[in-house]
Amino acid sequence: MISAKRIYADFKVFSIGYLRNKFGLFFGLIFPVVLILIFGAIFSGGGSETINVYAQNQDTGGLGQNIGDSFLTALNTSTTIRVVTTNMSENFADFLATNSASDGIFIPSNFSSEYMMGNQVNITVYGNPASSTSGIVTGTVSGYANYFNLQRFNGTVVVGLTSATINTQQTNYIDFLIPGLIGFSILTSPMFSLVNISSEYKKVKLFKQLSLTPLTKMEWLASKVLFYILLSAAGFLLMVGVGIFAFGAHVTLSLWLIPFLILGPILFAALGMLVGTVTKNPETAGVIGNLVTFPMMFLAGTFFPISTMPIYLQTVARVLPLFYVTEGLNNVMVYNNISAALVDVAVLGVITLVIFVLAVKLFKWRED
Amino acid sequence: MASIEVGGLKKYYGNLKAVDGISFSVKKGEVFGLLGPNGAGKTTTIEIMEGLRERDSGDVKILGFDPWKNGYELHKKIGVIPQNFTFFEKTSPKEAINYYADLFDVKVNADIILREVLLEDMANHNFENLSGGQKQKTGLALALVNQPELLFLDEPTTGLDPNARRAIWEVIRRLKAKGKTIILTTHYLDEAQQLSDRVAIMDHGHIVASGTTQEIIHQHGSGERLEMQGKQQLAAYIKENTELQVEYNPLNNLITIPIKKRIDTLAALAAAEQSGLEWNNIQTRQDSLDDVFIKLIQKPLDDQEESKLEPQTNKKRGH
């Protein structure tokens, strides 16, 4: 019989011990916030960088010229934006949405022919009203349109602009960084702690001693999991607060975050315990723990969005359990894409179940 | 009814016979000392009795329970201090006692328990800041939380300074006075002699002697002997002029003469006086438990061999 009273007793003793350990407290709560402050300060300076803008040129040309191409080439000479052309077969609006782009430029198929005949033809500029880059992109495109008009038509408006809104939210580095570092703290705190505890307690025979009390190993694990869920929740609130107030991050807070904030700590507490259990001594456990943790720390979308990594690393990222935590958090907090987040929850749930069952099965409480 | 009944208990780790068919029983209210050199099998035996290890064969009944099958029920009735007791570093003795009280679902007054184990002045210090003796006392305090009728103390004073050892002894005497049954393992013979009603001496997985310390000395000791300081010529003179058996140790010029009858003492003294040779430091003495122990324990295992006693297999049973 699992007893809530015993779980609470163990939880209380563990929490008090944790809070008395300044080192653990620093790494559990303060360190991720410090990381947000550092990375946020480095990358959120903004303003002076060139903005990457997706463009689709559907222009079929006319009289051997492709004015659309010339226009985009001209845009690329500007210091403010850099054009990234997309495949003509893509549905441009969808493309922008899936890539969470905040800006886009669309040139229609009749662009050259109309231009040659002096008929007005419009370039569509996609933008997100919330984005600080939209104004810059519109301004730049409009400037080059005027230049084209002046050059050939003495300023008569032939190349015009229409604007369209993209339904994705604008994303800054800080927006990625917050879910990433929440994932980071969900990973590191329970993982490092449980690797250490489970190997150390085994070495000094503390588990053996606890097995002489009515506390069961499931209750012991439950209290650790409970503690790390609460610690992760506290870390979550702290990081979101700092992100919003210090850097004006745009994150959506929703109930869909809860499964990640619960499954994550369970998964990594169990994984830490598994590492501590299958290794012979605390030294080996530390090494194996680091081998498991470090790739996740850097490759699972914690410090950099996965999409910025080379394809082969993205494939690697997909086998790392933390990936599904950070991707899920991103899907909820940044993209507001709940159906994608549900897939992440499902994958995460399966991984958690497998690791948890393995850890409990292999975890020794008494000896033979 | 006996608190503990052990019959034909065996536990092998591969080729190593850690416990090789031992039998003993312990009465209620008795302090029973399990003696032996490192690696004799004491801890394996005690851990089997506590339900922490599974036996290979034999019968073990602790307070009527099979410790391996009914460990969970048994643990509510026993108190244990494992060897090298340790606890959560950042927890104080008082918090530890309250924690155990919650786990056992009993109401206790932590201060009373702390007083009982002479630890009240360190009640609120973190475990990591306690001395070795204070840590052991914390272990004793925790072993008492569930008001056990039976206590297992596995080397409770190993590594402690003499004062700390005596303080632990004091606590153990008080527990004995309260009628608790206590199983004590130790490799300090004075400790066993001071505290135990009966002892069993283990070596290489066997019990080589058991009973009260007096019984063991009587049974395995060489009896009374006369010792004197003198030269080899004196030893030879006594041997020639009496019917006594005379041993001589040239390293410390010690002449040893086993005494079978009182009159042997007089004969030896008369011969020594007659010889005109120098002799002094004359005394009669009996084998102490130390002497018997050394005699019984042929070849102590060294620490390295002891480490082989750690289990090789990992078959696991949990609650």
pLDDT of A274 reads: 94
DSSP, collapsed to helix, strand or coil, labels residue B215 as helix
pLDDT of B107 reads: 94
- Choose one of A165, A190, A208: the last residue of a domain: A165
Could you tell me the CATH number of the domain that includes residue A79? 3.40.1710.10
| Mean pLDDT in residue range B231-238 | 92
Of the candidates A228, A19, A214, the residue with the CA atom closest to the CA atom of residue B99: A214
ipTM of the complex: 0.77
Instruction: Tell me, yes or no, whether A208 and A237 share the same domain.
Output: yes
* Nearest neighbour of A367 by CB, restricted to B52, B83, B102: B52
Say how many domains are in chain A. 2
Would you say residue A312 lies in a domain? yes
User: Long-range contacts for A344-348 (Cβ within 8 Å, ≥24 apart)?
Assistant: A344/A260, A345/A259, A345/A260, A345/A263, A348/A259, A348/A260, A348/A263, A348/A264, A348/A267, A348/A321, A348/A324
pLDDT of B304 reads: 40
Would you say residue A195 lies in a domain? yes
**Contacts with B285 (C-beta within 8 Å, 6 or more apart), sequence order:** B224, B225, B227
| Mean pLDDT in residue range B303-310 | 43
Give A305-344 pLDDT, tens digit per residue.
777 777 888 888 889 999 999 999 988 988 888 888 999 9
Q: How far apart are CA B151 and CA B180, in angstroms?
A: 7
The helix-helix angle for A31-43 and A173-203 (nearest 10°) equals 150
Give B20-65 pLDDT, tens digit per residue.
999 999 999 999 999 988 888 998 999 999 998 999 999 999 999 9
Instruction: Tell me, yes or no, whether A208 and A287 share the same domain.
Output: yes
Confidence of residue B315 (pLDDT cuts 50, 70, 90): very low
Angle at A12 between CA A3 and CA A273, to 5 degrees: 75
Of the candidates A317, A309, A340, the residue with the CA atom closest to the CA atom of residue A98: A340
Instruction: Tell me, yes or no, whether A197 and A343 share the same domain.
Output: yes
Of the candidates A207, A206, A222, A213, the residue with the CA atom closest to the CA atom of residue B106: A213
Residue A261 in tokens: 């904030």
Every domain of chain B and the residues it spans: 2-77+148-219+293-307, 224-285
Q: What percent helix, strand, coil does chain B show, rounded to 5?
A: 35, 25, 35
| Mean pLDDT in residue range B219-233 | 87
pLDDT of A167 reads: 61
Instruction: Tell me, yes or no, whether A178 and A284 share the same domain.
Output: yes
Of the candidates B167, B135, B97, the residue with the CA atom closest to the CA atom of residue A204: B135
Q: How far apart are CA B108 and CA B100, in angstroms?
A: 10
**Contacts with A203 (C-beta within 8 Å, 6 or more apart), sequence order:** A281, A282
Nearest C-alpha in B relative to A362: B316
Of the candidates A186, A196, A231, A80, the residue with the CA atom closest to the CA atom of residue A142: A80
Q: Encode chain A (368 residues) as per-residue pLDDT tens digits.
A: 789 999 999 999 999 999 988 887 787 788 888 888 888 777 765 544 677 788 999 888 877 788 888 888 888 888 788 888 888 888 888 888 777 777 889 999 888 888 888 888 889 998 876 666 777 888 888 888 888 888 877 777 888 888 887 765 556 677 888 888 899 999 999 999 999 999 999 888 899 899 999 999 899 999 999 999 999 999 999 999 988 888 888 888 899 999 999 999 999 999 999 999 999 889 999 999 999 998 888 888 888 777 777 788 888 888 999 999 999 998 898 888 888 899 999 999 999 999 999 999 998 787 65
Instruction: Tell me, yes or no, whether A219 and A183 share the same domain.
Output: yes
Would you say residue A19 lies in a domain? yes
Note whether A213 contacts B84, CB cutoff 8 Å: no
Instruction: Tell me, yes or no, whether A230 and A84 share the same domain.
Output: no
Confidence of residue B298 (pLDDT cuts 50, 70, 90): low
HEC readout, B197-211: CEEEEEECCEEEEEE
Question: Which string of DSSP letters, residue by residue, matches A184-253?
Answer: HHHHHHHHHHHHHHHHHHHHTTHHHHHTTSS--HHHHHHHHHHHHHHHHHHHHHHHHHHHHHHH------
Note whether A365 contacts B51, CB cutoff 8 Å: no
- The number of angstroms, rounded, from the C-alpha of A114 to the middle of its chain's C-alpha atoms is 44
Mean pLDDT of chain B: 87
Fold held by B224-285:
Alpha-Beta Plaits (3.30.70)
CA distances A167 to A128, A197, A342, B132, Å, are: 7, 47, 21, 67
Question: Which string of DSSP letters, residue by residue, matches B170-201?
Answer: HHHHHHHHTT-EEEEEES-HHHHHHH-SEEEE
Question: How many angstroms separate the CA of residue A130 from the nearest CA in chain B?
Answer: 50
Give A51-108 pLDDT, tens digit per residue.
778 899 988 887 778 888 888 888 888 878 888 888 888 888 888 877 777 788 999 9
**Contacts with B56 (C-beta within 8 Å, 6 or more apart), sequence order:** B10, B11, B12
Of the candidates A203, A149, A193, the residue with the CA atom closest to the CA atom of residue A289: A193
Of the candidates B277, B187, B197, the residue with the CA atom closest to the CA atom of residue B229: B277
Residue percentage of chain B with pLDDT more than 90: 57
B70: number of Cβ within 10 Å: 14
DSSP, collapsed to helix, strand or coil, labels residue A101 as coil
Spell out which residues of chain A touch residue B90, defining contact as CB-CB under 8 Å: 16-18, 20-21
- Choose one of A165, A191, A226: the last residue of a domain: A165
Angle at A213 between CA A367 and CA B85, to 5 degrees: 70
Question: Which string of DSSP letters, residue by residue, matches A115-160?
Answer: HHHT--EEEEEEE-TT-HHHHHHHHHHHHHHHHHHHHHHTT---EE
Q: Does A5 touch chain B (CB under 8 A)?
A: yes
Note whether A204 contacts B84, CB cutoff 8 Å: yes
DSSP type of residue A90 = S
- Choose one of A126, A150, A165: the last residue of a domain: A165
Would you say residue A367 lies in a domain? no
Burial category of B216 from C-beta neighbours within 10 Å (exposed 0-12, middle 13-18, buried 19 and up) = buried
Letter string b/e over residues B112-138, b meaning 16 or more CB atoms within 10 A of that residue's CB: ebbebbbbeebbeebbeebeebbbbbb
Instruction: Tell me, yes or no, whether A113 and A187 share the same domain.
Output: no
pLDDT of A11 reads: 96
Q: How far apart are CA A282 and CA A299, in angstroms?
A: 26
Would you say residue A368 lies in a domain? no
Fold held by B2-77+148-219+293-307:
Rossmann fold (3.40.50)
Which stretches of chain B sit within 8 Å of chain A by CB?
A: 47, 50-54, 71-72, 75-76, 78, 80, 82-91, 95-96, 99-100, 102-105, 126, 311, 313-319
- The number of angstroms, rounded, from the C-alpha of A225 to the middle of its chain's C-alpha atoms is 23
Token look-up 């004091």 returns B170
* Under 8 Å between Cβ of B287 and B221: yes
Q: Does A280 touch chain B (CB under 8 A)?
A: no
Q: Which domain holds residue A277?
A: 4-43+172-362
pLDDT of B144 reads: 92
Q: How far apart are CA A212 and CA B152, in angstroms?
A: 11
pLDDT of residue B308 exceeding 50, the answer is no
Instruction: Tell me, yes or no, whether A76 and A222 share the same domain.
Output: no
Instruction: Tell me, yes or no, whether A223 and A330 share the same domain.
Output: yes
Which amino acid type is present at position A98? T
Instruction: Tell me, yes or no, whether A185 and A320 share the same domain.
Output: yes
Question: How many angstroms separate the CA of residue A271 from the nearest CA in chain B?
Answer: 19
Instruction: Tell me, yes or no, whether A145 and A177 share the same domain.
Output: no
* Under 8 Å between Cβ of B201 and B212: no
| Mean pLDDT in residue range B263-283 | 90
Instruction: Tell me, yes or no, whether A285 and A152 share the same domain.
Output: no
Token look-up 């009289």 returns A63
Nearest C-alpha in A relative to B95: A13
DSSP, collapsed to helix, strand or coil, labels residue A34 as helix
